[in-house]
Amino acid sequence: MTPLDRPSAAEVAAAVRSGERSARSFIEESLTQIGRDEATLHCFNEITAEQALARAEEIDAAVAKGEDPGPLAGVPIALKDNLCTRGIATTCSSKILEGWLPPYDATVVQRLHQAGAISVGKTNLDEFAMGSSTENSAFGPSRNPWDTGRVPGGSSGGSAAAVAAGYVPLSLGSDTGGSIRQPAAFCGTVGLKPTYGLVSRFGLIAFASSLDQIGPFANTVADAALMLESIAGHDPRDSTSLPTQPSAYLAALGEGVEGLRVGVISDFLTDADATIEVAVRGAAEALCAGGATVEEVAIPELMNALAAYYLIAPAEASSNLSRYDGVRYGLRVDAPDVAKMNAATRQAGFGPEVKRRIMLGTYVLSAGYYDAYYAQAQRVRTLVAEAFNRAYAQFDVLIGPTTPTVAFPFGAKVDDPLAMYLSDLYTIPSNLAGHPAVSVPFALGEGAMPIGVQLLGPALGESVMLRAAQVVEAAQATGVRGPVAMSEGSAR
């Protein structure tokens, strides 16, 4: 059985709301699946089985009383372990936060709870969301359900793999430079990064505050839209939250792409694997067949985004991660004075990639380098946003690959930070501009691994972008409908 043969989130919710099946039965099924494959896949840092079963019983009791527990009633979900959950360890896959119990829930966690969703656990990630493979997790990497010798992508690798493995129909990740879309592409799931400010960041442990955004993983575009509806919308606790109410993303689906103007970003095709270029062209043809006009467009400014990103994100991160100093929570390594204690704690608590980025970020903000690096990167950010806006004057949706390659084997890039950073080449521009983008599995590439096609939209253009994504999804190759390896219990 592949994940798509399982009920979708919408089907689970419908069955629970109508009383046809209990929430408890869905949670038990999810926990059974996790119990079978988790030793191999390591998607989770913590599985909250007891809390999930207790919550399922509450939902079932509510249904029995004739109440409606919400649009995600009884849907098992998984939360990236950088989302704060009250009383449940939230580690960012870092030793520095081991044992910390947040005294509050993130806004998205509250909203999903109110919508009736049930979290079964906290998923693994690259430490503090810094990485593209989960190899930077302090608790060991997650594995790709399609091929356990390959990475699931990152940083939200655990959340992507949990959906791909059929543990849960929905999960949440966070995307700072591609951390939802890249693992979605690597694991053959749908991964959506919403417009910056559409989903509250309150309770998301910050990596780079001006770029971070929470979004869903799902098996289908429709399920991703369903989850987005539950988490989107203004939050007074996040000053950068947009003053908008979410649209009816789900209702807009199915309207097709007749008359839409689609631009294929030609700059994204030059460095991508040949099979990936073929996939993007195939997806463009599907949109064309659906009635859209499709043209190639060059946006060369986007190619400077990577360099700008690797200045801005580490700079913000270096500041965001200062608070892990051994004083108020988390790890402390004792030392005779407070400065030495800070330094010893941080040295022991952070892994090599986190330290590398803190170093880089501290350096580019330090006196004498600010203008040459940080301010210059912010100007490039302006150019990227302006270039996108010019393109969106001509096109409703842009399309390109999500990643230059399919999922790579463990260890392939771990010693070469620059090579690892390049896997974010096509996802970063949307983060700099604050625009939405979604990765949709479309074909199989090298090693029979899934290829993700990326659809990009202008600010708050989720509805139209998701309509186009659904048309692409409808044309996807058959083998893309879920990994067979794990579900048959025979890791390759």
Partner 1 sequence: MTEIAPGWELTVGLEVHCELQSATKLFCGCANAFGQTPNTNVCPVCLGLPGSLPVLNRTAVEFAMRIGLALNCHVEPSIFHRKNYFYPDMPKDYQVSQYDEPINLDGYIELPSGTRVGIERAHLEEDTGKTSHMGGGGRIHDADYSLVDYNRAGVPLVEIVSRPDITSPEDARAYVSELRSILVATGASDGRMEEGSLRVDANVSVRRSGTTELGTRCEVKNMNSLRSLGRAIEYEAARQIELLEDGGRVVQETRHWNENTGTTSSMRSKEEAFDYRYFPEPDLVSIAPSAEWVTAVREALPPMPSERRGKLLAAVRSASPDVDEHAIADQIVTVVDLGIDALVVAAIAAGADGRLALARGANEAASRPEDARALKVESFVELLHLESSGKLSATQAKSVLAAILESGATPAEAIAKLGFEGVDDAALAVIVDGIIGANPQEWQRFVEGDEKVAQFLLGQVMKQTKGQANGRVVAELLALRKGA
Partner 2 sequence: MTAEFTPEEVRYVAALARLALTEEEVASYATQLTSVLGHIDTIRALDLEGVAPTSHAFALENVFREDEVIEGLDRDEVLAQAPAAEDGRFRVPSILGEAP
Question: Which residues of this protein are in contact with partner 2, per CB under 8 A?
Answer: 100-101, 103, 196-197, 210-211, 236, 239-240, 242-243, 304, 306-308, 310-311, 318, 322, 325-332, 334-344, 346-347, 350, 352, 355-356, 358-360, 362-363, 366, 372-373, 375-383, 385, 417-418, 421, 432-434, 459
Q: Is 286 in the site for partner 1 (CB under 8 A)?
A: no
**Minimum separation from the CB atom of position 16 to partner 2 (A):** 34
Binding residues for partner 1, total number by CB under 8 A: 44
Which listed residue (155, 159, 423, 487) is catalytic? 155
Q: Which is nearer to partner 2, 35 or 352 (CB)?
A: 352
User: What residues contact 418, with CB distance under 8 A and at least 6 apart?
Assistant: none
Which amino acid type is present at position 442? F
Q: Is 101 in the site for partner 1 (CB under 8 A)?
A: no
Q: Which stretch binds partner 1 (CB under 8 A): 66-74, 82-90, 116-124, 457-465?
A: 82-90
> Radius of gyration over alpha carbons of the chain, in Å?
21
User: What residues contact 466, with CB distance under 8 A and at least 6 apart?
Assistant: 192, 221, 224, 225, 249, 252, 253, 438
Which amino acid type is present at position 206? A
| Rounded CA separation 194/208 (Å) | 16
Q: Which is nearer to partner 1, 97 or 164 (CB)?
A: 97
Which listed residue (80, 95, 193, 413) is catalytic? 80
CA dist list (Å): 473 to 248, 438, 468: 20, 11, 9
How many Cβ atoms from other residues are within 10 Å of residue 95's Cβ?
Answer: 18
**Minimum separation from the CB atom of position 95 to partner 2 (A):** 13
The H or E element that residue 239 is part of is: none
Which listed residue (179, 230, 241, 487) is catalytic? 179
**Minimum separation from the CB atom of position 130 to partner 2 (A):** 13
Q: Is 366 in the site for partner 1 (CB under 8 A)?
A: yes
Q: Which is nearer to partner 1, 59 or 125 (CB)?
A: 125
How many Cβ atoms from other residues are within 10 Å of residue 415's Cβ?
Answer: 8
**Minimum separation from the CB atom of position 157 to partner 1 (A):** 20
Q: What is the CB-side half-sphere exposure of residue 309 using CA atoms within 13 A?
A: 30
**Minimum separation from the CB atom of position 200 to partner 2 (A):** 13
- Render the burial of 334-371: b for 16+ CB within 10 Å, e for the rest: eeeeeeebbebbbeebbbebbbebbebbbebbeeeeee
Q: Which stretch binds partner 1 (CB under 8 A): 66-74, 195-203, 397-405, 477-485?
A: 195-203
Q: Is 348 in the site for partner 1 (CB under 8 A)?
A: no
From the list 482, 480, 284, 485, the residue with the least C-alpha distance to 395 is 284
Backbone angles phi, psi at 46, to 5 degrees: -150, 135
Among residues 202, 268, 373, 388, the one that binds partner 1 under rule CB under 8 A: 202
Among residues 39, 367, 393, 418, the one that binds partner 1 under rule CB under 8 A: 367
Among residues 20, 39, 239, 393, the one that binds partner 1 under rule CB under 8 A: 239
Q: Which stretch binds partner 1 (CB under 8 A): 72-80, 204-212, 279-287, 350-358?
A: 204-212
Q: Which does 358 bind (CB under 5 to 8 A by kind): partner 2, partner 1, none?
A: partner 2
Among residues 100, 186, 310, 350, the one that binds partner 1 under rule CB under 8 A: 100
User: Could you identify the residue written with the tokens 């330090």?
Assistant: 366
Burial class (CB in 10 A: 0-12, 13-18, 19+), 405: buried
Backbone angles phi, psi at 200, to 5 degrees: -60, 140
Query: Is 247 annotated as catalytic?
Result: no
Q: Is 60 in the site for partner 1 (CB under 8 A)?
A: no
Per-residue mark of binding to partner 1, 301-340 (x: CB under 8 A): --------------xx-xx--xx-x-xxx--------xx-
Q: Which is nearer to partner 2, 52 or 311 (CB)?
A: 311
Can you read off the two tokens belonging to residue 221?
Answer: 């575009």
* In 140-186, beta strands by DSSP E: 170-175
User: Could you identify the residue written with the tokens 């995600």?
Assistant: 72
Q: Which is nearer to partner 1, 237 or 390 (CB)?
A: 237
Can you read off the two tokens belonging to residue 50?
Answer: 């007891």
Backbone angles phi, psi at 168, to 5 degrees: -140, 150
Q: Which is nearer to partner 1, 367 or 418 (CB)?
A: 367
Q: Which does 84 bind (CB under 5 to 8 A by kind): partner 1, partner 2, none?
A: partner 1
Q: Which does 90 bind (CB under 5 to 8 A by kind): partner 1, partner 2, none?
A: partner 1
Among residues 236, 254, 409, 411, the one that binds partner 1 under rule CB under 8 A: 236
Which amino acid type is present at position 386? E
What is the separation, in whole angstroms, between the first and last Cα of the chain? 17
Query: Is 95 annotated as catalytic?
Result: no
Q: Quick one: how far is CA 144 from the chain centroid?
A: 15
Query: Is 65 annotated as catalytic?
Result: no
* In 8-128, beta strands by DSSP E: 44-47, 76-80, 118-123
From the list 425, 445, 458, 395, the residue with the least C-alpha distance to 264 is 395
Q: Is 374 in the site for partner 1 (CB under 8 A)?
A: yes
Instruction: Yes or no: say if 63 and 108 are a contact pair by the CB < 8 Å rule.
Output: no
What does DSSP assign to residue 159?
A: H
Backbone angles phi, psi at 455, to 5 degrees: -110, 135
Residues identified as active-site: 80, 155, 179
Q: Which residues bind partner 1 (CB under 8 A)?
A: 82-84, 90, 92, 97, 100, 102-104, 106, 201-206, 208-210, 236-240, 315-316, 318-319, 322-323, 325, 327-329, 338-339, 342, 362, 365-367, 370, 374
